[in-house]
Each structure stands twice: as structure tokens, then as C-alpha cells.
Structure 1
Amino acid sequence: MKKLYNIHLLLLTVPIFWGTSYVAAKIGMRDLLPLNLAIMRFVIASLLFSLILLLKKKDIYLDKKDIPQFFLLGFMAITFFYYIHYTGLQYTTSTNAGLIMATSPIFVALFCILTKQESVESHSLLGTCIAFIGVLLVITQGKISSLYHQKTLLGDSLIILNAMMWAWVTLNGKTVLGKYSPFVAMAYIHIFGTVLLLPFAFISTSLAEISLWQQLPAVGWSTILASAYLAIFCSVYSYFIWYLGVSKIGAVKTAAFNYFTPIMASLAGFTVFHEQMTGYIALGGFLVTLGVYITNQKMKLSIGRFLPMRKYKHS
């Protein structure tokens, strides 16, 4: 019981780090372009992941035939995802970003309907509608007619794209998670995604007019610390604790802790940047959390249909 209690305490730290990552990213982008911040973060994270894999030694090697799949997942989950993510954060608030990213399970449900990979029941659709209304409230501040005039519209749209991309990664990641341990799979996704990012650290492109190599001399300590925070605590530590929780108490109970992430993002944005906390944000956040919870619960039930069930005889 004491060990389970400790696991729950550790899991409570994960949404703290993931929620505050939006604030850390905004601090890092004071000196670095979005793409360059992503490169710095994941170079540090990949080095740490590599070190842990070397220390782990057992079951860390990939089959050659799986390498293209890891490259694709690395590109979608790291390279492209975080370029869009950090670009979006430049044009929206930490509060909006945290709440919108919480809708990724909603897109998982929608993708399941489109691809027929998983059955989705009526309650899941209800959750989708509730969360969608919540996102609209957050983005428009209750004024739906002014949607296209919101200052955060571009950033919010990019974060919505992020949520869709993460849903895609979640579904397509099943192909490697069925063969490799979650930590090993996530480590290689980070490493391959970073490999794809590395060339951009030395060349200027339309994605980053100034390369990371050129920006490094002017980088301040706040940006270095923000990058290290994102790499160590938001990537390596959080993923390790997350999958430790999966192994100890199961995926269903562990996943419930993710509902605290948008709350922490809102609190962090309000505390550090004094971002406005309105009644619409509070109501929208509640609806997003409620909608995601409803959808997630029903998705778990539908997945259970495909699992072997024990038959009990009634006396």
C-alpha cells in the first residue's frame, strides 16, 4: 500500500511539469525562435534518454524493419509537433494552450470513427460535443460571433492542430508499443525526432531565419534553464514516471492524472505572466475536462470489448 501511495504522489508531479511547460516554453522563446527552442530541448532530452538506455542495457535494441516507423513517429511527435507547438504559443496564452491540448483524446475518438479502428459509442460523441463547446468558450471568451477577430485565433488554431497530431501519434504508436516497452519506444521516438531536427540547428531556413548555432551566443541563462527544465522534467522525468505508473497501477488509473494538466497550465500562466483568468476560461476549462473525461471513459470501455473476458458461473 505504501508503494502504491508513493506512485500516486509521483504521478501528481507529472501534470505539474506538463502544465508548467507552456510557461517554460514562453520564457525560452524570449531568446530563441520556436524551432531552435525545440532543437535545444530535445538534444538535451535525447542525450539523457540515450544514457538511460545504455544503463538499462536489456531489451533496448530495435529491429531494423521498425526503424522507418520510429522515424515517422519521431517526425510527427517531436520534429513537426513541437515546431507547430512553440509557434502557436507565440500567438496564444499558456491557459488557452493547456486547455486546447487537453482535447487530444477527443480527436482520438474522431479518428477512430473515420478509420474504424475502434468503436465509438454515443456517450463518446456527447463528450466530444461538450469539449468542443468548452474550447469555443475559451477561444472566443463567450462571443462566438467574434471568433475570427480574436487576437489568439492563429495560436489557438495551431494548438488545435497539435492536439490532432498528438491523437494521430497516439493511434499509430500502437504498432511499436505492442512490441517494445513504453519507455524504450518513447526514448527512440525522441532520439529519431531529434536526429531529424539536428540539421536545422546549423542552417537558416524559412522555418527559422536564424539558426540555433547563430542564436546560441546571445542566449541568456533563463533560456538555458527553461530548455533544461523542458528536457529533464517535462520529457525524461515525466515520461519515466508516467510509464512507471502504467506498470504499477495500470493505464486507466494513470491516465486520469492527465486531467490536472490544463489546470496547472492555467495556474502557471496566471501566476507567471498574469494572464487573465475569466469566467469563460473557467467554464470552458470545466467543459473541456468533463468532455475529455466522458470520451476517455467510453473509449476505454470500447477497447475492453476486444480484450478476453473471464466467464463466471452464477450459483
Structure 2
Amino acid sequence: MKASLYLVLATLFWSGNFVVGQAAAASMMPLELTFWRWTLAAVPLLLLAHFVEKPDWRAVLRRWPALLLLSVLGMIGYTLLLYGALGYTSAMNASLITAANPALIVVMAVVLLGERTTRLGWLGICLGLLGVLLVLTRGDLARVFSLSINTGELMMTGAILVWGFYTIIGRRLDAPAISATAVQVVIAVMILAPFAVALNVRFPDTAAEGWSLAYIALFPSLGSYLLWNLALKTTPPGTAGNYLNLMVVFTAIITVMLGTPLSLVQIAGGLMVVAGVLLTGTRGKPSVTMEESGHSTARAVRSPAP
């Protein structure tokens, strides 16, 4: 029961990142949001890792080449694209596109790693892709061929592609999850710092910006990672992964509570994406050994989209 509560809260905080991030993107540059998010989260994440996981820091740091690549992809690339996208599209559309991430990762694993999936898995992938296309084109699928798709939604599609590479590479990383994340965050801050200085990145000077940044640094950056990893101590990774589908539900609820109605296209697309993800996660007779399958799933779920 406690683990389920942790997973629900973790996904709720990540859902809030879409809504709060959209509000913050109206007055702050993606670089400002990304730089301050990780700068404020770096030390608390290091402390969390140290006291929760008690890692061998020297062993973690010996993996610095992989951690550097993961930091550039997940902490810098994904986050910049996410906040850039939220300047052009709605939080709801961004969450719907993100919901297709599990299916995309399955496709990338098939193409890049030679893994296999079931027929139901392929049906789920196609259904999820159709749901995303429905959202991208606002119900007019012919827009795909005219390339008249919103800039923000294209950026969000790029963001989940980057996160797919992050997850595939992260599967091979043998390091405690929070510790590896903390080191990646520190690397991201070091890389972004010169750009922040050169572009005169400012600290939020309004109450709204300050509260937005406080939420982003505290809840999705710290709280979600801690709760998620605490839950994984007693919850199978595959079961935990299903909770990520709640992100679309929570984002929809928050959006409606803030007075923005959902369109029929968003509802239909969202249902198709979630159904597709559930089908993708359904296993028939596995084409790989159970050991390989379980290892891959564990790695994918330990690094959910921030």
C-alpha cells in the first residue's frame, strides 16, 4: 500500500512539471529553467543518494564517460526540448506525446539492440503511434504529409526520441539509480554554467517564477526520484512502469481544474496512447530469455522521464 502511494505521488509530481513548466516557459527561457532546475537540485540529490543508497562514489565516478553522455542526453537535451516545447504547445499535448515513450523505447530496443516483442506489442506500438499522430495533427491526419505540425509538438517528439536513447544507453549502466542521476545532474550544471554566464541567465525575479522554479526543483526533480526508487524496493519494475500511464490522467485532471477544457481529439488520442502502452507491456511467449527481459525492463523503469 505504501509503495503504491509512493508511485502515485511520483507520477503526480512529474505531471505537475508539465503544467508548471508551461506557465514558467511563458517568461523564462528553456536554458534558464534547465540551468536553475538542476543547480537547485544537485546538492539535495547528492545527499539523497548518499544517505538512501550509500553508494561507492569512486565506483560510480569510474563510469564518467557513460554518465557524461547520459547527462547530455537526459538532463540537458531532454529538459531543454521539454521546456522549449511547452512554450509552443499545451501541457496536455506534451504529456500525451510523452505517454508514447514506452512504446518508442520498445521500437528502439528492437532496432538498436535486436530485442523482440510480441504481436500484441506491435499492435500496441501502432495504436500508440496513431494516438500521438491524432494529437499532433488535431484529428486531421493529412497534416502529417503537409508537415503543418506545431513547433512545440515537433520539439516534444524530439524530446522523447532523445529520452529513448537515454533509456537504451542507461540500461547498460551498472550504478545505483539516484547516485547515477545525481552525478548526471552535477555534470549538466557544469556544462550549462558557461552558457548561463555568457547569456546572462538571471535568477527568477518575480514571485510566480520563483514558486514555479521551487516546485520544479523540489517535487519532480527530488521528490519523484526518491519516491520512485523507494517504491522499487518492494514493487516489481514492470508493475511500477504501469503507473507512468497516470501522468496523462493527472495532467488532464490538473488542466481541467485550471479551466482548460479537453478536446475530443485529445481524449481519443490519450486513450489510444494509454491502450497502446498497456498492449506493448503485455508479454506473450518471450523471444528473449526471462533474465534478459527482466534486466531490460528494470533499467527502463528505473529511469522514468523527469
Structure-2 residue corresponding to 1:229: 215
Deviation larger for 80-89 or 195-204: 195-204
TM-score with structure 2 setting the length: 0.88
Post-superposition CA distance 1:61-117 (Å, at most 9, x none): 043541111011011001111111111111111110001001111111111221234
Post-superposition CA distance 1:5-29 (Å, at most 9, x none): 1221221111211111111112222
Q: Which amino acid aligns with 1:168?
A: F
Give the Cα–Cα distance (whole angstroms) in 1 for the partners of residues 221 and 144 of structure 2.
34
Q: Does 1:290 align with 2:275?
A: yes
Whether the 8 Å CA contact 2:6–2:230 is kept in 1: the answer is no
Q: 2:182 aligns with which of 176, 187, 191?
A: 187
Give the Cα–Cα distance (whole angstroms) in 1 for the partners of residues 293 and 109 of structure 2.
21
C-alpha change, 1:300 and 1:122, in structure 2 (3 Å) is closer
Q: Which amino acid aligns with 1:126?
A: L
Structure-1 residue corresponding to 2:26: 30
Q: 1:246 aligns with which of 218, 232, 237?
A: 232
Post-superposition CA distance 1:175-223 (Å, at most 9, x none): 22xx22222222222222222222222112xxxxxx31xx33x621111
Structure (1 or 2) with the larger CA radius of gyration: 1
Deviation larger for 34-43 or 48-57: 48-57
Give the Cα–Cα distance (whole angstroms) in 1 for the partners of residues 288 and 218 of structure 2.
33
Whether the 8 Å CA contact 1:102–1:262 is kept in 2: the answer is yes
Counterpart of 1:119 in 2: which secondary structure?
coil
Structure-2 residue corresponding to 1:58: 54
Q: 1:116 aligns with which of 113, 116, 120?
A: 113
Q: Which amino acid aligns with 2:5?
A: L
Aligned alpha-carbon RMSD (Å): 2.4
Report the CA distance between 1:142 and its aligned residue. Answer: 1.5
Structure-2 residue corresponding to 1:46: 42
Give the Cα–Cα distance (whole angstroms) in 2 for the partners of residues 43 and 219 of structure 1.
17
Post-superposition CA distance 1:255-280 (Å, at most 9, x none): 111110011122223333x3341111
Unaligned runs of at least 5 residues, structure 1: 205-210, 310-315
Whether the 8 Å CA contact 2:49–2:178 is kept in 1: the answer is no
Whether the 8 Å CA contact 1:78–1:194 is kept in 2: the answer is no
Whether the 8 Å CA contact 2:17–2:220 is kept in 1: the answer is yes
Matches within 5 A, 1:143-158: 143-147=140-144, 153-158=150-155
Structure-1 residue corresponding to 2:264: 279
Whether the 8 Å CA contact 2:24–2:212 is kept in 1: the answer is yes
Q: 1:8 aligns with which of 4, 11, 14?
A: 4
Q: Which amino acid aligns with 1:138?
A: V
TM-score with structure 1 setting the length: 0.85
Post-superposition CA distance 1:225-263 (Å, at most 9, x none): 111111111011101111111111121111111110011
Structure-2 residue corresponding to 1:312: none
Q: 2:81 aligns with which of 80, 84, 87?
A: 84
Q: Does 1:262 align with 2:248?
A: yes
Whether the 8 Å CA contact 1:270–1:276 is kept in 2: the answer is yes
Counterpart of 1:298 in 2: which secondary structure?
coil
Q: Which amino acid aligns with 1:287?
A: M
Give the Cα–Cα distance (whole angstroms) in 1 for the partners of residues 227 and 260 of structure 2.
30
Whether the 8 Å CA contact 1:38–1:82 is kept in 2: the answer is yes
Whether the 8 Å CA contact 1:29–1:223 is kept in 2: the answer is no
Unaligned runs of at least 5 residues, structure 2: 295-306
Give the Cα–Cα distance (whole angstroms) in 2 for the partners of residues 255 and 299 of structure 1.
18
Tell me the matched-pair count: 293
Whether the 8 Å CA contact 1:41–1:227 is kept in 2: the answer is yes
C-alpha change, 1:167 and 1:288, in structure 2 (3 Å) is same
Report the CA distance between 1:282 and its aligned residue. Answer: 0.7
Structure-1 residue corresponding to 2:193: 198
Structure-1 residue corresponding to 2:90: 93
C-alpha change, 1:57 and 1:81, in structure 2 (3 Å) is closer
Q: Which amino acid aligns with 1:83?
A: L
